[in-house]
Structure formats: C-alpha cells, structure tokens
Amino acid sequence: MVDREMDGMGIKKVACIGAGLIGQGWATVFSSKGYEVILQDLTDAILSRSLKKIGSNLLFLEANRFLRKGEARASLKRIKTSTSIAEAVRDADYVQESVLDNYAEKEKVFREMDAEAPDRAILASSSSGLMMTRIQKVTKKPGRCLLVHPCLPVHLIPLVEIVGGRETSSETVGAVYEWMRGLGKVPVILNQEVPGYIVNRLTAALVREAIDLVDKGIATPGDIDKAFCFGIGLRDPVIGPFLRMHLAGNGIEQFFKNYSESYRYRWETMETWTSIPDSASEKVIEGVREMEIVRTKAFEEIVSWRDQMLVKILKLIERTG
C-alpha cells in the first residue's frame, strides 16, 4: 500500500480509460497500491473480461508474494467499472488513457477527459509512440497532459517513460515522476518528444535487423531469438548498451578506438527500410509458427510462462540489488 502521507499529489481516485491489455495492467498496479479505480471501456462485456484478467493478475502477484495474503481480493474490490468516460473521470485525481494508438482516437478521448475531469486531475496517455504536443492541442488545460508509457506486462515491468508535450507543465512531469516512484515504478523522463520514445526506438532498431536477417535467409526466427536470449539478453537485465560498451572496450574511450571500424562495416551492411517488405513478413510469419514453443504451447501458456520467468528475474534483481 502507498503511504498516504507520502502521496504528495493527493491522489485518491484513478480512472483507467480503455480496459485492454494495457488498461488491465494499469488497473492491476493502481488497485494493488491501494487506490480506488474506475475502469472504463466501450461495453460491459469488455469490462467484465477485463476484470477477470485483472483478478488473475492480482492473484498472480499474491502467489508470488508481491502482495500479502488477502490483498488480491481487497484490491479487486477497489475497482469499479463504467462505459462512460464522463462518469469515470468525474472524481478522478489521475486519469490513465489506454485506448487505440492513433491520433483520431486519442484526440477524441482527451477532449472528453479534459472537459469532464476536475481541474486538479492529471491526464496521462499510455501511447507507444505518439506525440503529446499534438494530442494536448485538443484540450483546454494542456499543462496537465503528458505521456506515461508503460511496458508489457505493466504489473511486472518497472519501467515507465514520462514524456511531456510542448505545453505540459514541469510541475505535472515532476509530480508524476514522484508518484510513479511511489508506486514502485522506475520512471525515466525524456527531455524531448520523439516517435517511439526510448524503449520502442531501441526495439524498432533491433526488430528491423532481426526481420532483415530472416529475410536474407541468414538465420531463422528461432535461432535469432536463441542468440538474443542466451547472448545479449542475458546481460540486458543487468547492463544497458552504454555500460555494455564501457565493459566491452575495457573503458568507453578504448571502446570507440577499438570498435569504430568494425561497427562501421556492420552499419554499412544494415537495411534502412521503413516499411517491412512483404517477402520478409511472409518468412517471419512462417518462421515464428515453426518455433518449438509456438508449435507446442497455446498463446496463453506462453504468456504465463513469460510472466513466471519475469518474476524469477525480478526477484533475483531485488535480492542482489
């Protein structure tokens, strides 16, 4: 539970707009930290499916001792639902929007959230790469609007990227940064907007190269995933790209001296396309379907296996600091 005295923003009620994969994750986080949540989506059927998923997320957190016994049930009880944005945000102190990732939808929803939410409420978007400067233009109080981009699964991965638009106030950014820390998240503030922020830009570079290696017939999706998980990926929970360069070069200055030429050869032979070639997507689809885990396990089983493995990594990092 969050200590109310520590919650300097006075947040008591949170609204989650959009109850898909990401909205469910946020509702899991907020309710498990003691906040009253209103979860909103287009239909009662979607909301009831979503509540089921949140219930199982909370039980998973309890089973893995992120929550104490009985807290999963108590957290779920803190969540109410609504199919109306106006009703959901009416008393909210913080609103987290997680609807479809396109400007038309975000603008429509932000316009309504801004009109219906109390003046004190902060309006955050989960967008994976859109610009807040454009979205906040439809609001009357753009200073309180910002991007708070989580990573999937939201209830397990600590990182959130905080990105303000041109009109976002520094108070909003600072307050959300502190609040996210209080929720147990690891927030990073970007100094400038850029499509995809940090996480999805790095992912986009990696994914393009992975797809191209398949397209050129250099390796299969299964072997590329293996190279990642038993190579780069094993180091990734501990060191990022910059510490990796520092260690690989026996010092960052030496890294630039020793590796600039060989990196140049790699970059010169890399693709720079901005739309995935048809030939590549066909090969990737075929290759992913042939991966052993995809052939032998149902989609939900893979998701649950991923979450179990993530818990083991998180516990290890927590134990060793």
Per CB under 6 A, residues contacting ligand NAD are 17-23, 40-42, 46, 98-101, 105, 109, 126-128, 149-150, 152
Q: Which is nearer to ligand NAD, 21 or 188 (CB)?
A: 21
Q: Which is nearer to ligand NAD, 155 or 283 (CB)?
A: 155
Question: If you write DSSP's letter for every residue of 116-128 in order, what string do you get?
Answer: HS-TT-EEEE--S
Q: Which is nearer to ligand NAD, 100 or 313 (CB)?
A: 100
Identify the burial level of 57 via C-beta atoms within 10 angstroms of its C-beta, where 0-12 means exposed, 13-18 middle and 19 or more buried: buried
Rounded Cα gap, residues 308 and 166, in angstroms = 40
Residue closest to ligand NAD (Cβ): 20
DSSP one-letter code for 146: E
Nearest distance in Å: CB 305, ligand NAD: 17
Structure tokens at 84: 């109306």
Answer positive or negative: Cα dihedral of 248, 210, 187, 166.
positive
Identity of the amino acid at 71: E
Q: Which is nearer to ligand NAD, 21 or 204 (CB)?
A: 21
Nearest distance in Å: CB 193, ligand NAD: 15
What length is written for the chain?
321
Nearest distance in Å: CB 262, ligand NAD: 34
Answer positive or negative: Cα dihedral of 210, 213, 216, 221.
negative
Q: Which is nearer to ligand NAD, 67 or 130 (CB)?
A: 130
Nearest distance in Å: CB 130, ligand NAD: 7
Nearest distance in Å: CB 255, ligand NAD: 32
Q: How many helices (H) and strands (E) does the chain have?
A: 15, 8
